[in-house]
Structure 1
């Protein structure tokens, strides 16, 4: 029997009994209070930034590395005061260019200080930000600019060139501001020639000078229910949908995090904290973190723009806050364990002994150890600069093994968040001191969650021992609508404000949410068994030989097949021990001996991880080219685009089934 005090959620007060669904639950710290809303006295993201500027006492805010002859140097910083002056100038420029209240302004760039400056300028004048990103593809970019009727867009030179090449498909686009901090006159003139008479082109410096001419324009204050952003989700099929999020949505999500800090459920953030910004600013996960850091007057250092150099940027910045996605955490996990196995002997014995002892400490809620943190895990901590005290994983499920690893090796408070663009990123978060893995915690105190029956999948709110069903959320951070898509909005949002997530969850014995399935990405095999491919892929991707996995099944087939992208380093070790060390990675992936070895390994590993017989793949092909956002096989949040992957490998899938027959 679980003690009432250990329950992390409670039933929402006065919730009615509705057949076919469980009662809504909320964070236990709320009690019977109203759901958390925006912070008192702050009505917009711009006012949030101004508060941080006051708290910081003109401390450093936005930093970037100096690049001299291609070599990255130390970070240089702009203070809150310096940033504020640039924001005011760009805001005045946008106003003088004819932008009007709640007009859509485009932002197209990788993470950089000018992105934040441009965004805050929009918020100062109550414009709507519409982020763009390369992996949307040209058709989607044209669709977004057309649907939102963007006239003014801030972009770096490379993105501006991309837009100008499709200018005939962008009739609304009239003005481009180049966000580059350094750009040659020749490059500007080259782009001006491309723009011709149709598009006015300004550099960031020119835009700031233009904004200051004749004095700064007055601020046009935004209200809580004005639109903060239209954030387009790429999804896995079809054209992207524009998620309309208000200032209330974003600020409520932020304030909910502060409420958890107040109750010691989340590590406190203050003006001394440093965040490394590399997760795309085009997505709400990174933007919520930016709001939190700015509110407290903290610092944001930007990566160079190359993920291959990210760990070098991290080592130079030495952040205290590190927010990432499972894909990177999995890489760190694989490399560290690979290194331990390679060393062997006393080093491996010490590491494993320290790991086991700290694992026991995790069960008591302890992430530090007086001896092992210095003797064994200091080298691992140094990979992230040595100062990280707050780590958050989001955007996709992370293995419990990897969560344990992060807590043990980095001696930090590590949290797993769950949410989606439609919930302003945050929906649930694990709690400080709760070092059990395999769940995503309690709902943010700005919302409540209920589970709705899915009888066709045998999930119901009456299931024992734990209620199960589709996760539905209602609260102050839930999006307003899909832009100009009333039918899609009605599918996702009901009349009472409940948003369907498409995920299947269950409440565990402590009232924490566990995500166990997808309501959409399922299929039935010929013998009638339901399959959730993402769960199987997550199991396989924990194996050292596997970098990426795609599992496929069909209702006319009794078995599963898979496309596996091997981990090159691990595969080469196998090859070297089997007299195939002279083969290229591509040749290894085409080798029948290698294929059979990987298939045997996966089936054994699947059984060890409780996959049922019909859940293990019966045939595979090895692919040497990774699934990526660039080849349109991954979404920008690194989820597999199932239909494009299936289409690309359909002939291979057919051949595998023919072999099985």
Structure 2
């Protein structure tokens, strides 16, 4: 396992995140076109990261169901999920790209793979790429090997390429909508002006940073939103279908029962698999109320986590200082062991204070 030297967190504003989702949605729309008779889902096979959520939001916007698959699944389980859902497009990470390419010849419906990298849009230059981090050697090798071995009928693209394509598509939409408005001002149809919102290229928001597909193609609450595959611990993974109503109900219930999130100072740390409904709903809640999300992984959470290079950097919890996080018993045990290891190495007085402190904690 490669140990990592990690830097500080780099933040994107909600406006910047919305712009990236719009670019991604518009880019997908320009490549895939409007939905015809049959809706082919979009699969996401990746570790938990910001781009995972961006890709899901873009797919939701286009009314294309998201197929979620755990990043730890084996080859046969992946093939089963891709084929059963009849996936056309797969989002994955640079680290996992080679794994998808290795089995894609067994998935006849797949014709496009889009991989996440460390690049993001430069906030000032708009369409130029600014690499914020150096890719690992394994990620670089994965991309090189995949581009060389991919079947000729499968197109492989960097997510930045798709975002840039979407930005260009949005600019084209602005020009077409302007022409449409000019024409509608001189001619009336059924006694009303023709709305640019119903244009064939969708709607671009007033700040030209948001994009929505044509009204007729947007999702309804009863439409399928997610096909969430299980971990496959007792056989082949099984796909569980969730509608948009199911997701919004989950968010509403979570917000009602959970502590209030404050967008002024709360920070949520996302590290559990987004392929599981628990983490997905939690992050959708954070987005709903405007809480910041910092991304991590179970291998980089603590100072002594397995992928943290000792003596060179701290774990993500130390750096991010989150106020909210979801967890499972296994991770809580790791955190408890790490905390008590530090307490025990600090002397008897610190140990005694730490043991007594919970007794004086006020009730919530």
TM above 0.5, one fold? Answer: yes
* Alpha carbons 2:24, 2:166 under 8 Å: kept: yes
Residues 270 and 293 of structure 1 are in contact (CA less than 8 Å); yes or no, is this contact kept in structure 2?
Answer: no
1:278 aligned to which of 267, 271, 276: 271
Shift of 1:324: 1.2
In the alignment, what sits opposite 1:209?
A: 164
CA deviation after TM superposition for structure 1 residue 211, in Å: 2.0
Q: Aligned to 1:258, which of 255, 258, 261?
A: 255
**Deviation readout 1:173-209 (Å, 9 max, x if unpaired):** 1001111124699975542221141211111121112
- Tell me: CA distance 1:93–1:352, structure 2 relative to 1, closer, same or farther (3 Å): closer
Partners of 1:80 and 1:343 lie apart in 2 by 41
1:327 to 326, 330, 334: 330
Structure having the higher strand fraction is 1
Contact 1:130-1:229 at 8 Å conserved across structures: yes
Cα displacement string for residues 4-30 of structure 1 (whole angstroms, at most 9, x for unaligned residues): xxxxxxxxxxxxxxxxxxxxxxxxxxx
What are the ranges of 5 or more consecutive residues in structure 2 without an aligned counterpart? 120-134, 174-200, 203-212, 309-313
CA-CA distance at 1:226 after TM superposition: 0.9
Aligned residue for 1:271, secondary structure, equals coil
Deviation at 1:306, TM superposition (A): 3.3
* CA spacing shift, 1:186–1:287, aligned 2, 3 Å: closer
Selected match of 1:149 from 42, 62, 86: 86
CA distance in 2, matches of 1:327, 1:70: 22
Deviation digits for residues 545-584 of structure 1 (CA, Å, limit 9, x no counterpart)? xxxxxxxxxxxxxxxxxxxxxxxxxxxxxxxxxxxxxxxx
Larger Rg computed on CA atoms: 1
What is the number of equivalent residue pairs in this alignment?
288
Partner of 2:32: 98
CA 347–155 in structure 1, closer or farther in 2 if over 3 Å, else same: closer
Q: Decide which of 268, 272, 279 is 2:260's aligned counterpart.
A: 268
Q: What SS is found at the alignment partner of 1:123?
A: helix
Q: How does 1:470-619 map to 2 (within 5 A)?
A: none
Secondary structure in structure 1 of the residue aligned to 2:10: strand
Select the residue among 193, 201, 204 that pairs with 2:148. Answer: 193
Does the 8 A contact of 2:89 with 2:113 survive in 1? Answer: yes
Q: 1:186 to 1:352 in 2, by over 3 A?
A: closer
Matched, 1:292 2:285: yes
> Unaligned stretches of 5+ in structure 1?
1-68, 261-265, 368-432, 434-661
RMSD of aligned alpha carbons: 2.7
**Contact 1:106–1:132 (8 Å) recurs in 2:** yes
Deviation at 1:241, TM superposition (A): 1.0
**Any idea what SS the aligned residue of 2:325 has?**
strand
Is 1:303 aligned to 2:296, yes or no?
Answer: yes
3-state SS of paired residue (2:95): helix
Aligned equivalent of 2:54? 117
| Native 8 Å contact 1:174 1:200 kept in 2 | yes
2:127 match: none
Query: Compared with structure 1, are the counterparts of its residues 238 and 343 closer, same or farther at alpha carbon in structure 2 (3 Å cutoff)?
Result: same
Secondary structure at 1:153's aligned position in 2?
strand
Distance (Å, rounded) in 2 between the aligned partners of 1:119 and 1:231: 12
Equivalent residues of 2:43, 2:68 under 8 A apart: yes
Give the direction of change, closer, same or farther, for the CA distance of 1:190–1:221 in structure 2 (3 Å limit): same
Determine if contact 1:161/1:191 at 8 Å carries over to the other structure.
yes
Which position in structure 2 is the counterpart of 1:167?
104
Distance in 1 (alpha carbons) for counterparts of 2:354 and 2:105: 60
1:348 and 1:187 map into 2 onto residues whose CA distance is 46
Distance change >3 Å, CA 186–CA 143, structure 1 → 2: closer
> How far did residue 305 of structure 1 move?
7.3
**Structure with the higher fraction of residues in helix conformation:** 2
Q: CA deviation at 1:248?
A: 0.7
